[in-house]
Structure 1
Amino acid sequence: MRDQDVGGIDPVTTTWQEGLRQQQPQVADEHATVSDIAAELNSSGLPTAPHIVARLFHELDGDRAAVHEVAAALTAAQRSGQRMLPTLLPLVPSVEALSVGIDPGDEDRLTLLTAALSIDDDLEPLLIAASRSAEDLLRPGIAEHLRASNGRFALTRRRTAIWLQHAATPQETASAHRKLERAHRVRGDEAIAAWHAARGAVERRPEIASPLTNAAGELRDRGETDRAFAFAIEASEHAAPLWREHAHLIAGTTAASAGCFDDANDLLADLASSSNHAVRAGSLTALLIAQTCGRGTIPTLDTEARPPRAGDPRLWRAWARTTGLAAVLCAERGATSAMRSWLAEAREADTTAGAGGEVRDPAVALCWMLTGEADADPIEASGTFSGALLDALRSAMDGDVVEGLRGLARSALSVPEDDPLIPGFERSPLTGAYLAVTEALLRFWSGDIEDARACLAAAALHLPVGIPFAGLGAVLARRIDIAIDGASGPVARAISATLPDGIRIDTLVDSGLSAYLLGESEQAATDIALWRDRGAPEPPLALAGLEEVGPFVDRERVEPPDASAARSLLQRIRGLTESSWRHEHGEIAEAGRTLTSSFERGRVEALLGSTSLVHGDLPGGRRHLRAARRLFEDAGAHAWKDAMDARIAGVRTTQDAMSDPMTDPIAVIRDDDALAAGRAAWETLLTQRELEVAMRVAAGSENREIATALDVSVRTVEVHVRHLFDKLGARNRVELAVMAHRAGRVF
């Protein structure tokens, strides 16, 4: 850290919601620009997390060329957010070019350097340190680079701070820090004075380690992760061994709370075996999070880490938090056996600590929520993290997604409440990311697809949204983009490309969805079949997938009643036979009308429409497709709406062609192709190869004839025929042929 400084860095001092409220007018424009830059960096082989792109964009005054140059100078871990950014960004050509326009005298340059190095924007210490008056700052030469008003100051361009620090000699930098130290001591700002003392020192000063470490802990608890990390690292460089462990503890836990798991692992690994019980206990939770998310290591129970049986209750409470969070991490990843072991340990630790369930209860409740296990007697939990998450998700599971969103809004507007499961981390970026992803998920569940994207996109500018719930934020970002645009966008791709090694997401459902919305049913079915063959990996909290094609995966899912009902109706529609369709179609349509989510109801209406066409009901098919189109439009799922437009247009084109006597004798109306309407009705439900087989079966061809014509084996044709019977609800070849010819008569 000796070649770095925190001058010019704005700490994150608010929750993500508060920060967005302060910047709301700029969010849309900034998101568009960050999206463009993220896409450019990704195509250049420099994938960068959206919140890192946004940070660089801010620190470099919106200079896109400078963002590209700095990103190229960073390590892959820094670009992905797995390591903290250097507090002094590298000097790149676009920043170095600023020197051409800066030619203040030596006195003014040193004043600007002092301003760049100051960790505080209070004007008075700057004037004292620089031996200048307020009037001096209004003079030509310096006034164009430094603004001062209402007792505060700021450099006109943030990039100037980078150039000034790189251009200064070590002696100039040390002198400016010492002057700032004296100015802040005069004012009684001991922590800030200690920081500048450390930066201006030419040799170790162990006496400043204690105030720096204590200040770092307070900054971490307030959510000021950048400054907390810088203070703690600086303290460790001056500290004696005892304080060095404490400083590394603060730095490591701060890094983990920001999602910088590589830094956290480096700083905390040795502390897990420390002879200092308090340090060891304090390091375990953050180390466990870092190793699980950063390296993919499912935590295993290590009783060696337990506090002594007769130990301090505070140590047992810390152990209860560690074991409780370990259980939650296992639940996120579907490791239920390990989860139960950790929960048993958490119960014992909570009892030994005399916590009365304060730590145990939220861990147990979150585990039950993430695994979908019965919660007959709901456990109450409080706190900004566990209480807010549980209340929101429980409301959604009870069918009241709107109330869940209201609860999250109330939590965001209130003063952060102490959380027994993660004390001190209520304002951390990782906690903010969990809350943001939960809000976006609830909006998605409610059917407000565009609102869900706006929520997640805004949070992605500030927080590591890909990490919560074992990558749910990354999957959600992709799924939302596909629903709106038909393919994942640059921010979603950047989130996915920069996930830590310990988080892996499956993209087969996404590719299947994109193919399906383009009318490529065969590719969609192939993707879904491959997804099932891989074990059908899904996030712990369910997202709408692609039940319209491919094999079903029958499992319990954690989702609101609307989503479960829609999934059940889609499966029921696909399983209807010819005879049951006539009796059950109306009942299914009526059940679909009870769904409150426009998106989920739209999917049901869309499949009803396609299936109506298969069964020869042209008016009903068009009616359902038009209803689906309107519902998707209401939800903001524009790619789904466009798919409905294509289906409706296809039905209309076929109908017009067959009813126009002046139409050339093309395939759809020739006597030897009277099944063309059946082809048009079935093409949204069958793969291309299944459609070819179906048409030949309906025309009376035998399996061997079909195999020869399509250059496949008879066995392959037999498999396709079985699939056709299942998908179309036909009991035999004769019934399938009747269905195809009837579709032609209806058209």
Structure 2
Amino acid sequence: MTGRTNAPQSPPPQSPSPQSPPPRSLPLHGRNAELAALAAVSDLPGADAPVLVLTGDPGLGRSALLAWAARSFTAGPVLRVRASRAESALPLSGVHALRCAAGGLPGGRTVGVPDAGTTPEGLLRSLTAAAAGSPLLVCVDDAHLWDAPSRAALGFAARRLPATGPVRLLLTVAGQYTADPDFAALPVLTLAPLSSSAMDALLDDTACGPVDPAVRAELLDEAEGNPALLRALVAGLSAAELSGEHRLPWPQADAEALRSAAGAHLAGYSAAAGELLLLVAAAHEHDPEGAGADADLVRGAAARLDRAQAALGPDRLPDVLVLSGGRFRFTSPLIRRAVHACAPPDRRRAAHRALASVLESEGHGLVALLHRAWSVAGHAPPMADQLSAAAADPRVSASRAQRSAAYARAAELTADGRERAEHLTAAAGQALLAGRARVARRLIGRARDGALPAVVRGRSAWVRGILALRDGPAADAGEALLLGHSLLTDDDPAHALLAGLAAAEAAWATGDAVACLRALDAADSTAVATVTAGAVVHGRAVADLPTAPVATARATVARSVTPCGVPSSAAPAARPDSLPLDYLHGMRAMLERDFGRAIPRLRRVVEHAWEEDGPERLLWSGAAALLLGDVPAACRIGARTLAAARSRGPEASVPRALELLAYAELRTGQHARARAHAEEGVRSAHRYGQSNVAAHHHAVLALAASIADESTLVAHHAGAALTTARRHGLIQATTLAEWASGRADLGRGRPFEAAARLGPLVRPGPDSGHFAVRMLVMPCYVEAAVLAGQREDARAVVEEFALWAHFGADVQAPAQLARCRALVADADRADALYEDALRLHAQAGGDFEQARTQLLYGKWLRRRRRLREAGGCLRAALVSFERCGARIWADQARAELRANGAAPAAARAGALEGLTPQQLRIARCVAEGATNREVALRLAVSTRTVDYHLRKVFAVLGVRSRVELSRMVEQTDRNGTCPA
């Protein structure tokens, strides 16, 4: 135990801590909310409760926050003790520690040690007496490690401390103990991992010297928001390693770093408990992110060890273990990693050997072989060959993560540098398919050998390219994938074809049509040979990354290939498969504007979808459906792709399947469903390390929010999309996000802002929007430009949009074209064009676009005093907007109806009630900062009309300036009253 008061004193008896204190006190980054909560408890006059329990995983800063509270408390003395597992069996040892800590309190005040029968009441009386009416802060670190009588007394005292009393109590406990009866009903503050910005600041404080950006990213990824682990990682690196001059060690979180971060939580266990912890930690290794270690497996292995079985009783389990649902799991992944890494090597190998024996007897092939390999010391080439062969065999039942682990262990057992690089490349490919992008990046970073064969270097380039395509600069991804294509062409043309198509995907994301055509041309150079050789099998394309050993690479060209990229005798007989060629040639013809050649090819790709169950091939079909404008088919294919990715895998395809589905639903006007899928897509993309895919999901969410009155959501999602898109050169995501912001401005009645934002997206030139998205933006821009008085600019865009509408790839485009032509036409032609637009909308369907045309037509009719017809259009628009959830546009329709005299103005409080509907609309526009000319354009009236009504508004409200008018309108909207 350790103790502290604010008065000088001799140090009390204390248990040695396994973790040395840091040489200097670092700022507590990212803990402002927690510090405020601690300060609120310590602030006697304003405290709501006199006690607070801090909890969280090891290394997140429970002790550091407690130390901050003790340092910051200046109102009186502080009693601070730290519990020890070694004393948890000694009755009343915790209360005794408090007494020792209080030995130096001013005036000789002490905390008594009552007998066991009166401990709860006695501790409460003793703390109150020790305070003697003056402020006293009591801090107990790791209170869950106290003995049972002391915990009961502490909990009793904590629940009964009066809020206005002098005693304040701060406790830290492990997360699983917050529901313990001793601590039940106490206020709890749970520490979460630090944010990336806070960890970034902590790294700057911790590192003594510059940190290379790539090294910084690696350290932050490895630490996963744990400040103690980050400090330990930095402490183990040299200045040359931090600056990037030397490569980082492997593994980064070695035994020393993990012991430094979590060692205090491993001390005090018996030998039997330590053996059991090691066994459970070893059983996690083949599935570290799974649900836990199988209890039967652990029990079977414990029977083969000396001591572990003695600790298996349910009432004797170590407190860092939980048994639930037939599985053992650690309360913290950091503790599990530390237990495994810090164990003596011979004991660790013995644990894996015991697990391998049980698994072998039960017929678990690859997993048993993995544990057997972990029980071997040094190089073992025969074992490495066994592991590699099992990982490459599709008949072996194993997850992609397990195959990745097998390849990685084979690399460790291999003495030859070339073979090691081959195994690491295969391990990275499987990790990427499993959705473990961070692991894949580290594995591929170790797979370097200048003498590698071309096929292995090609596979390495492929993995790097796919990693960058999902989470990195898309242009870099394209070049890496083209390099992979050229290196794979001779030995593995099937995967060379897929590398070329992936390079085209990267170029598409950057909005570079020329680069996209170049990638498709490269893919086409190997496509015919690939299909002719039968390397791509109907219904079973090589959709996954290549992971087979080099010895089998050439065989894949002549034999059927499974989705794992390795030969399989069980695969169907090879026959030509036209899907890759149709997709490739259809995409290329579309980019070359050879629509007569593109359409039939892409239609065949769409038709293939109903025979497919591979996510990658289904994604091709979905993209083809979108290019053809068959959005309903794209929705069905998106749903099928998502089902296939979830049931068959690979797991890494789930975020992209959700992206296809959400975007297709957005195009059909199903905004609520698109939002639901995009929200799930953001979560899954971040889970699998695909920030570029997450950016596209954010853009979809911004577009969905732009039709409702959700300006905060639009700004949030558009900002999130643009942050990644601009950093990684994702022009498609940038265009979608800017479109969302511009459409939101247009919906809020801000045509000038909308035109300024959308104009650069639709105009031709190097800085324009994405070549495949800018056409979809044009109707919004035309509307904004006309309302902003920029009719000539709008007219030039309409002519280009006409070419897109005539192509037929967008079912809404013909109706939108008629609407755009009505907006820029003379009065004698606009009427007929609006009628044409409504007729075409009726054929195409889609509430939102039809309602926008009805709203614009209603405004046009009202301006010409055709009030009855205007009212019909505006009411229809209102109903449609409400049906599709477009609240902000529905507000526009209501305002137009009020101005048309067809609906009463909404009730307003105060002086605004005296304004007519038209005067109220003008007042609100002026309050938003619009000039008289801008108001006239927005409301489709003359500036003379605005001047006339504005003078009336000033007279009715008794204001003399626009500033006073803005204040009055703002206060009315805020609380329904006007200032006196």
TM-score (normalised: structure 1): 0.67
2:874 maps to which of 625, 641, 656: 625
In terms of Rg, which structure is larger? 2
2:581 maps to which of 350, 360, 363: 360
2:926, 2:935 within 8 Å by CA — same for their partners in 1? no
1:519 CA drift (Å)? 2.5
3-state DSSP class of the match of 2:475?
Answer: coil
Q: 1:115 to 1:367 in 2, by over 3 A?
A: farther
1:676-691 to structure 2, matched below 5 A, reads 688=931, 690-691=933-934
**1:405 maps to 2:635:** yes
1:330, 1:336 within 8 Å by CA — same for their partners in 2? yes
Aligned residue in 2 for 1:42:
none
Deviations 1:5-55 (A, max 9, x none): xxxxxxxxxxxxxxxxxxxxxxxxxxxxxxxxxxxxxxxxxxxxxxxxxxx
Aligned residue in 2 for 1:711:
none
Aligned residue in 2 for 1:140:
315
Alpha-carbon distance in 1 for matches of 2:815, 2:724:
33
Aligned residue in 1 for 2:327:
153
3-state DSSP class of the match of 1:68?
Answer: coil
Alpha-carbon distance in 1 for matches of 2:661, 2:701:
13
Deviations 1:638-672 (A, max 9, x none): 44334444554566699869xxxx99997x79xxx
**1:592 maps to 2:841:** yes
1:201-240 to structure 2, matched below 5 A, reads 203-213=378-388, 227=402, 229-239=404-414, 240=416
Deviations 1:178-206 (A, max 9, x none): 31233214432454355446656664555
1:577 CA drift (Å)? 1.9
**1:537 maps to 2:711:** no
1:105 CA drift (Å)? 4.3
1:524 CA drift (Å)? 1.9
2:192 maps to which of 49, 59, 66: 66
Alpha-carbon distance in 1 for matches of 2:376, 2:863:
81
Deviations 1:384-434 (A, max 9, x none): 2354234445555666544443344345546999xxxxxxxx823443222
1:332, 1:540 within 8 Å by CA — same for their partners in 2? no
Aligned residue in 1 for 2:44:
none
Aligned partner of 2:444: which letter? L
Aligned residue in 2 for 1:114:
279
**1:297 maps to 2:518:** no
Alpha-carbon distance in 2 for matches of 1:167, 1:185:
21
2:714 maps to which of 476, 488, 491: 488
Aligned residue in 1 for 2:673:
451
3-state DSSP class of the match of 2:614?
Answer: helix
Q: 1:105 to 1:262 in 2, by over 3 A?
A: closer
Aligned residue in 2 for 1:253:
429
1:494 CA drift (Å)? 4.4
Alpha-carbon distance in 2 for matches of 1:633, 1:82:
49
Aligned partner of 1:348: which letter? S
1:522, 1:689 within 8 Å by CA — same for their partners in 2? no
After superposing the two structures, state which structure 1 stretch, 95-104 or 590-599, moved more. 95-104
1:474, 1:492 within 8 Å by CA — same for their partners in 2? yes
Alpha-carbon distance in 1 for matches of 2:808, 2:401:
36
**1:580 maps to 2:839:** no
3-state DSSP class of the match of 1:344?
Answer: helix
3-state DSSP class of the match of 1:519?
Answer: coil
1:337-736 to structure 2, matched below 5 A, reads 337-353=514-530, 354-355=532-533, 356=576, 358=578, 359-367=580-588, 374=595, 375-378=598-601, 379-380=604-605, 381=608, 384-395=614-625, 401-413=631-643, 427-463=649-685, 472-484=696-708, 485-486=710-711, 487-488=713-714, 493-494=719-720, 496-498=722-724, 501-504=728-731, 505-506=734-735, 507-532=737-762, 535-538=767-770, 540=772, 545=777, 546-547=780-781, 548-550=783-785, 551-552=793-794, 553=797, 554-555=800-801, 556=804, 561-648=810-897, 688=931, 690-691=933-934, 699=944
Q: 1:412 to 1:681 in 2, by over 3 A?
A: closer
1:29-108 to structure 2, matched below 5 A, reads 65-68=191-194, 72-73=198-199, 86=222, 90=226, 105-108=270-273
Alpha-carbon distance in 2 for matches of 1:642, 1:220:
61
Q: 1:126 to 1:490 in 2, by over 3 A?
A: farther
Aligned partner of 1:459: which letter? G
Aligned partner of 2:352: which letter? L
Alpha-carbon distance in 1 for matches of 2:302, 2:214:
34
User: Relative contact order (alpha carbons < 8 A, sep ≥ 6): 1 or 2 greater?
Assistant: 1
Alpha-carbon distance in 2 for matches of 1:89, 1:118:
25
3-state DSSP class of the match of 1:154?
Answer: strand
Query: What is the aligned residue count?
Result: 617
1:347 CA drift (Å)? 2.9
Alpha-carbon distance in 2 for matches of 1:295, 1:85:
18
Q: 1:436 to 1:372 in 2, by over 3 A?
A: farther
Q: Which blocks of at least 5 consecutive residues in structure 2 are unaligned?
A: 1-174, 180-187, 204-211, 231-257, 288-292, 534-575, 786-792, 947-980
Alpha-carbon distance in 2 for matches of 1:218, 1:643:
63
3-state DSSP class of the match of 2:328?
Answer: strand
1:635 CA drift (Å)? 2.1
1:364 CA drift (Å)? 3.0
Q: 1:124 to 1:692 in 2, by over 3 A?
A: closer
1:192 maps to which of 345, 349, 367: 367
Q: 1:176 to 1:352 in 2, by over 3 A?
A: same
1:219, 1:228 within 8 Å by CA — same for their partners in 2? no
2:503, 2:519 within 8 Å by CA — same for their partners in 1? yes
Q: 1:198 to 1:405 in 2, by over 3 A?
A: same
**1:318 maps to 2:475:** no
Deviations 1:194-235 (A, max 9, x none): 544665666455554444545666799999565555554444
Aligned partner of 2:523: which letter? A
1:688 CA drift (Å)? 4.2
Aligned partner of 1:641: which letter? A
Aligned partner of 1:503: which letter? L
Alpha-carbon distance in 2 for matches of 1:99, 1:543:
61
1:276 maps to which of 453, 465, 469: 453
1:328, 1:367 within 8 Å by CA — same for their partners in 2? no
Aligned partner of 1:528: which letter? L
Aligned residue in 2 for 1:738:
none
2:296 maps to which of 124, 131, 154: 124
Deviations 1:337-379 (A, max 9, x none): 3333333333332333434565433333455568875224224
Aligned residue in 2 for 1:17:
none
Aligned partner of 1:244: which letter? R
TM-score (normalised: structure 2): 0.53
Alpha-carbon distance in 1 for matches of 2:486, 2:340:
50
Q: 1:138 to 1:99 in 2, by over 3 A?
A: farther
Q: 1:400 to 1:234 in 2, by over 3 A?
A: same
Q: 1:415 to 1:471 in 2, by over 3 A?
A: closer
Deviations 1:550-588 (A, max 9, x none): 354435489953332343133123123222234444333
